[in-house]
Amino acid sequence: MRKGIWYAIGAYVIWGLFPVYWKWLQEIDALQLLCHRVVWSFLMLYTAIVLARQWTEFASVTRSPRVVGVYSVAAVLIAVNWLVYIWAVNAGYVIETSLGYFIAPLLNVLMGVIFLRERLRPWQWASVALATAGVLYLTFVYGALPWIALTIAFTFGVYGMVKKAAPLGSLHGLTLETGTLLLPALGYLIYCDQATRGAFLHAGALLDVLMIGAGLVTIAPLLLFASAVRRIPLSHMGLLLYIAPTLQFLLGVLVYREAFPYSRFVGYCLVWISLAVFAVDGLLGRRAHALTAETHRA
């Protein structure tokens, strides 16, 4: 179990430090970076499947229209998420991207109520209400909806719901997702190169290596996450989840010196309090369930 916790921490720390990586590539436009992320991720994942001698198995599942359809939807959602995230980081909105990942779990809960008819306990409703109040307050302070945070939270939340219905494992699933996006990504990169706007092989060796590395930094935390999920309870994963947005928030405030006036701090506090309420309620609920189970066994 200890190894699983370290795998989870490793995955969330890498995700939390993502802004540093994309800042190194900020002179390249976000759409090109997204396309490089897709292309190099697919090539690395495809190579892993071939080396693992799973190509026949992978090819057979891709013949199912239902499987391809599910992963095509997932691919579009994660592409939008990645694009908005990369653009926002390099445009100086690291703090707002962290807000998106703070509220994503609560949005997942709300979508479970709406689409899966799940029931919430009173304190869970209070948590959702506090988060909603925080977003509405930030909307008032900004003078507009915090669309970056909401887009990241919504696409990530719906992506998670789609993946729940997805039948493939993490390796085959991500390969199919990136494979779905491969041709459009390659087409855009070729277009940029012909229009003399392409960055690859024209921006220097270091940036070329970093663009290729976008595939590795995409795959590595996902593999760590998949290994962690198999070893530790989901309750532990849920508590560790907030490592990533916390690191992103700290990077935005302390390293990149983004503006964070007191007025915005109030809105973020409402979101953080809602998360604390949700976490404590979940912990107490699991303990009560465990005690009930022990009583029945006795």
pLDDT at 75: 93
Read off the pLDDT of residues 76-102 as tens digits, 9 standing for 90 and up.
999 999 999 999 999 999 999 998 888
Is the alpha carbon torsion for 190, 191, 193, 194 positive or negative?
Answer: positive
Arithmetic mean of pLDDT, 139-150: 86
**Residue of 197, 282, 193 lying closest to 236 (CA atoms):** 282
Is a pLDDT exceeding 90 seen at residue 73? yes
Angstrom distance (rounded) from CA 42 to CA 215: 8
The predicted model gives 25-45 an average pLDDT of 95
Give the chain's domain count: 1
Q: What domain range includes position 235? A: 2-297
Inter-residue contact 69 to 216 (CB < 8 Å): no
Predicted model pTM: 0.86
The pLDDT, as a whole number, for residue 293 is 57
Question: Averaged over 218-237, what is the pLDDT?
Answer: 74
For the segment 231-237, the average pLDDT, to the nearest whole number, is 63
pLDDT above 70 for 143: yes
Per-position DSSP letters for 140-208, written without gaps between them: HHHTS--HHHHHHHHHHHHHHHHHHT--S-HHHHHHHHHHHHHHHHHHHHHHHHHTT---TTTS-HHHH
More confident residue, 114 or 253: 253
Q: Is the pLDDT of residue 30 over 70?
A: yes
Query: Token pair 């939270």 is at which residue?
Result: 153
Q: How confident is the model at residue 277 (pLDDT cuts 50, 70, 90)?
A: confident
pLDDT tens-digit map of 169-212: 878 888 999 999 999 999 999 999 999 899 998 888 999 999 99
If pLDDT is split at 50, 70 and 90, which confidence band does 7 have? confident
**Average pLDDT across the chain, whole number:** 86
C-alpha span between 47 and 55 (Å, rounded): 10
User: Is residue 233 helix, strand or coil?
Assistant: coil
Structure confidence at residue 249 (pLDDT): 92
What SS3 string covers 282-297?
Answer: HHHHHHHHHHHHHHHH
The position carrying tokens 């996450």 is 225
Give the separation between CA 226 and CA 224, rounded to whole angstroms.
5
Q: Who contacts 8 (Cβ-Cβ below 8 Å, separation ≥6)?
A: 224, 225, 228, 232, 236, 237, 240
